[in-house]
Every structure is written in structure tokens, then in C-alpha cells.
Structure 1
Amino acid sequence: MMFYHGAYHIDVCINDYLDVFCPHYSGAVPPEHTERYVLYMVNYDGYRTCDHTAKGFKRWECNRPYALGGPLKFSEKFQLFTPFSLGFEFRPSTEYYYLSSNMAAGGTRSSCLKLKVFVQPSNSCVRTTGAHDHIFDVHDNSLEPR
């Protein structure tokens, strides 16, 4: 999914990931033509008005448009519990809101970008077992998928 303008909506399940790739440019693109973003998690009012200052906090910053290893990538894991102090815990049947605006030269903001994420109820999510997933049995020491 690429954000060009406006608002987007996705549904996720607990333990899904959302990957965010920052804009990336070759050295031939002048700095004034690159995009840099700060992405915030906000409450509904902040989402509605595109204002991160009321009840929002910074999740990621896309500030290296010429990163040597390619575009910066940030991942959000939608989990019930997190062992990390900067992690966030999500609840089923709940909407979460993200927003960002492009930081133009001089620090001015333009073009509010919005994303609404709905964490589906647990009974709406189907757990599938892929070819690379392992199902472990406490009485079986093998690592073969079943």
C-alpha cells in the first residue's frame, strides 16, 4: 500500500505485522525534492483533524531519504502484550489511528496522510499453518511440519 493523499483503512489480526517503508532516493535527487515524514499514532480526534499534538506520539521518523542500505523500514506488530518498553499493546475489536504529513523544506507541513487500522475480533481471524510453520508437540522432539 502506498500513501499518496487522503485516508486509508486496513483490517489486521492479533500477531499481524504492518511494515512501513520510508521514501528512498538516489543521490541524483536534490534534497529539496525528497520527502521526509514523521509518523504518529493518535486518538480519533487527532485522526479526524490531522493533529498529532493533542493525544499523539511519534512512532517512526522517515528522515534518511538517501540511506545506504535502501529505504528505512519500520514494523508494527499487533500483539496483545509486548516485552518492550517502547512497544504498544493492541486490543481486538478496536480501531487505531496513524497520521503523518510531509515535512517540506523549512519545516512546514503539507498533505496529511491518514491510516485507520482495525484489529479484528479474535474469532474473525483464521490461523493458517504455512509450509514453513512448525507445530510442536511436547511429546515429540522432531522439527518436521505436520
Structure 2
Amino acid sequence: MKHLTFVAVLGLSACALAAGIHTEAQAECKLASIEQTWIDAAIRGDRATLDQLLDDSFVETMPNGARRTKADVLVAPTLPPGSAQTLGELKVRVFGNVAMVSGVNHYTPAAGMKATSYAFTDLYVRRGDAWLVTSSTTTRGDSA
């Protein structure tokens, strides 16, 4: 009987571990998707989507050291027509209800112009079923 109980506990532990890995992988995919949604919304000037993605406590530190709140982002001018952003080198780390996404944003101000690379680190918090961005820090990298 003890042997059967041990095997049952071992099996349940393996299932719980597998479920945790699956859940973490789902969170990583979701967060990478949110990053893309975020830059798409910035390009389109989609303030409703930005409002949903950014936590009310959101603070962004820009490459020049300036800081913006969620309210600042929501009233900021849209990006110039023809501009583009491409994400690369995404690395997602999940720590329970907190996650960090880092990567490089290659920003092109207009068609035919040279892109500039910006390294970023974004901090997320899970509130219920939603992941919200609470902080973003960006530094200027070399031109792409």
C-alpha cells in the first residue's frame, strides 16, 4: 500500500510540474504577443489598446532619461507616417505574477531611412487574467 501511495504522489507531482511548465510557456507566448500588440498600437495611434495594455502605475524611462506616465503616453503624438518598428532578440522571464521582457526595438522613422536600435526592458504584472505593463526602460543602441 505504501508503494502504491508513493507512486500516486510521484505521478501527481509530475503532472503538477508539467502543468506549471505548460502555463509558463503560455505566459511567455502571451507576453511576446503583447509586446507586438503594443508597438502596433503605438504605430497606429491606437490609444484604446494602449490604455488596456498599460497599468495605471506605468512609468517609462526614455533613452534621454525623460520619464513618462501612462497619461503622458496616451496624449503623446502618434508616430510619423511611414515609420516602422520591428522587435528582435525577445527574452521573456516569468516569475509568478511578475514578468520581464527584454529585447531590441528597431525603429525606422520613415520609409527608406536607416533604423535605430533601442534595447528595452519591460516589467509586467498579472492582474487576474491580464498581463499589464508597469514599467519600461529603453536605451539607444547602435544603428541597425
For Structure 1 versus Structure 2, the TM-score category normalised by the shorter chain is under 0.3
Whichever structure has more helix as a proportion of its residues is 2
Tell me which of the two structures has the higher relative contact order, counting C-alpha pairs closer than 8 angstroms and 6 or more residues apart.
1
For normalisation by structure 1, the TM-score amounts to: 0.25
Whichever structure has more strand as a proportion of its residues is 2
For normalisation by structure 2, the TM-score amounts to: 0.25
